[in-house]
Amino acid sequence: MKQLLSILLTIVLVSCRNNTKEVAVDADTVVETITDATTDTSEAIENASYNDLELVDFAEFESRYLQQPALETTYVINFWATWCKPCIEELPYFEELNKNYEDSNVTVVLVSLDFPKHIEKQVIPFIKKNNLQSKVLLLDDPDANTWIPKVSEEWTGAIPATIIIKGEKQQFYEKSFTYTELETELKTIL
Amino acid sequence: MKTNFLKLVTLVAVTTLFVACQETKEKEISQKVETTTVQEVAMADKGEVTTAKGYGIGDIATDFKLKDIDGKMVSLSDYKDAKGFVIIFTCNTCPFAVASEDRIIALDQKYKEKGYPVIAINPNDPEVQPDDTYELMQAKAKDKGFTFPYLYDTSNTVYASYGATKTPHVYLLKKEEKGNVVKYIGAIDDNVRNGDAVKDQFLANAIDELLAGKEVSVKETKAIGCSVKQKKA
């Protein structure tokens, strides 16, 4: 009987402990990721050819998506960064939208505003780990005061921010999205 | 009889443990849910934060009373000799805020004695952004050797009345008879990422212009920053 008791106790205690441990590990991982993003001081990387990521300056970005966008394509352009928690949380919805509206000529473009020096340690591993399917650009243009108003006069510079463009029609959002909200906004412009 | 009693004790003990364990689990789950809800609310709220007007150029900024990292309360009215203030909403971990730290210290060291001290305010709610607790603010100020007050916006109202949407977000005030007038809003300079590559020092230029008795020529600028992390009030 005593043996049974101790076995039962052990089982209960162990199952209890496992559960706590799991939660603690989750929290640690989050903190670690955030710390990494801020303490890395590695040198800037000159090479701009990465398989999963294209570096562009604002002039290139503007001519490609803002000035003369293809009339038949709807661009959903999301400004994000690997260190931006609300951005990371909404990325799956943009990925889902990209997949679900592939046949409706909708292209999702994820524009990373990470620092170029974090490309190899932070951005590329993030893209690979999350297996991002949408087009990912890194906007490498430090003079934000010049280009932010060209994206939208409404934009204060906080991210996440999103712009939906089809021909002459443009809508800007400085907010986080749920999938439903994002789909609703897309449908108003499609 | 004895065996039966033991059986009973065992049953009670095991049940208690199971219940206790279950409670812990539930508590953890409810905590998790709570965190998620808070974040979702914060997201939904972000639209309101940005659309909330806040101050424009020429508006009078109201005074505040916020706790510094040494526990003292700080108000603009404490600074009898100041000609104005460099109010910077900033935080502990946002990469853009971190990249600006040395520049903020340099600005304070240069302009405090000329009458424009820096006052930094952390607008983030640590329940939404756990890296922005009061204790971690104290550690940050100590590590970096902040020469200016680093205030904790416990009321969660100061950032909203200013209209700050991100960190870092600068408001330059000039003390006039009618109050502290907003003279410049925006970025420290034109290159948040790299202080060595700065071409245009927006904030320093604006302070210099005020010190020379001129109007600020570039009144508003923009920079990328981390959104203010707040849950719905």
pLDDT digits (tens, 9 = 90+) for A130-140: 999 999 999 99
Same domain? For B86 and B25 the reply is no
Residue B144 included in any domain:
yes
Same domain? For B38 and B64 the reply is no
Q: How many structural domains compose chain B?
A: 2
pLDDT at B201: 97
C-beta of residue B217 within 8 angstroms of C-beta of residue B201: no
Reduce the DSSP state of residue B11 to 3 states and report it: helix
B167 is in which domain, residue-wise?
A: 53-227
Same domain? For B153 and B215 the reply is yes
CA distance B183 to B58: 6
SS3 for chain A is: CHHHHHHHHHHHHHHHHHHHHHHHHHHHHHHHHHHHHHHCCCCCCCCCECCCCEEECHHHHHHHHHHCCCCCCEEEEEEECCCCHHHHHHHHHHHHHHHHCHHHCEEEEEEECCCHHHHHHHHHHHHHHCCCCCEEEEECCCCHHHHHHHHCCCCCCEECEEEEEECCEEEEECCCCCHHHHHHHHHHHC
Same domain? For B75 and B183 the reply is yes
Q: Could you tell me which of B179, B172, B181 has the C-alpha nearest to residue B207?
A: B172
In chain A, domain spans: 1-39, 54-189
DSSP-derived letter for residue B184 is E
Beta bridge partners of A78: A110, A162
- For the segment A88-99, what is each residue's pLDDT rounded down to a tens digit? 999 999 999 999
Same domain? For B144 and B180 the reply is yes
Residue B108 included in any domain:
yes
Residue B179 included in any domain:
yes
Residue B121 included in any domain:
yes
**Which structure tokens are listed for B10?**
């065992």
Instruction: Report yes or no on whether pTM surpasses 0.90.
Output: no
pLDDT along chain B (233 residues), means of 10: 56 50 41 37 37 84 96 97 98 95 98 98 94 97 98 90 96 97 97 91 98 97 93 60
Q: Pick B221's closest partner by Cβ from A2, A12, A145.
A: A145
Q: Over 50: is that where the pLDDT of A116 sits?
A: yes
Q: Other CB atoms closer than 10 Å to residue A138's CB: what's the count?
A: 23
B4 to chain A, any CB pair closer than 8 A? The answer is no
Distance from CA of A165 to the nearest CA of B (A): 20
Q: Pick A144's closest partner by Cβ from B39, B223, B229.
A: B223
Q: Other CB atoms closer than 10 Å to residue A181's CB: what's the count?
A: 17
**Which structure tokens are listed for A124?**
């590329």
Same domain? For B30 and B60 the reply is no
User: Searching chain B, which residue's CA lies closest to the CA of residue A5?
Assistant: B10
Q: In what order do the strands lie in the sheet with A135-139?
A: A54-56, A135-139, A106-112, A74-80, A161-166, A169-173
CA distance A12 to B215: 72
Mean pLDDT of A117-132: 94
CA distance A137 to A141: 12
Does A86 contact B39 at a Cβ distance shorter than 8 Å?
yes
Q: Pick A143's closest partner by Cβ from B7, B186, B191.
A: B191
- For the segment A34-82, what is each residue's pLDDT rounded down to a tens digit? 333 333 333 334 444 455 799 999 999 999 999 876 778 999 999 999 9
pLDDT at B160: 93
Same domain? For B102 and B4 the reply is no
pLDDT at A48: 45
Q: Which residue has the tokens 């992390």?
A: B229
Length of chain B: 233
Residue B84 included in any domain:
yes
Interface of A with B (CB under 8 A): 1-2, 4-5, 8-9, 12-13, 15-16, 19-20, 23, 31, 34-35, 37-38, 81, 83-86, 89-90, 113, 115, 142-146, 148-149, 155-160, 173-176
Q: Other CB atoms closer than 10 Å to residue B215's CB: what's the count?
A: 9
Residues 157-196 of chain B whose Cβ lies under 8 A from any Cβ of chain A: 165-166, 169, 186-187, 190-194
pLDDT at B1: 52
Distance from CA of B213 to the nearest CA of A (A): 25
Same domain? For B176 and B195 the reply is yes
Same domain? For B177 and B187 the reply is yes
Where helices occur in B64-122 by DSSP H, the ranges are: 95-111
Same domain? For B101 and B187 the reply is yes
Same domain? For B3 and B116 the reply is no
Same domain? For B96 and B143 the reply is yes
The CATH classification of domain A54-189, taken from the options 3.40.30.10, 3.40.50.300, 3.30.470.20, 3.10.20.30:
3.40.30.10
The CATH code of the domain that includes B150 is 3.40.30.10
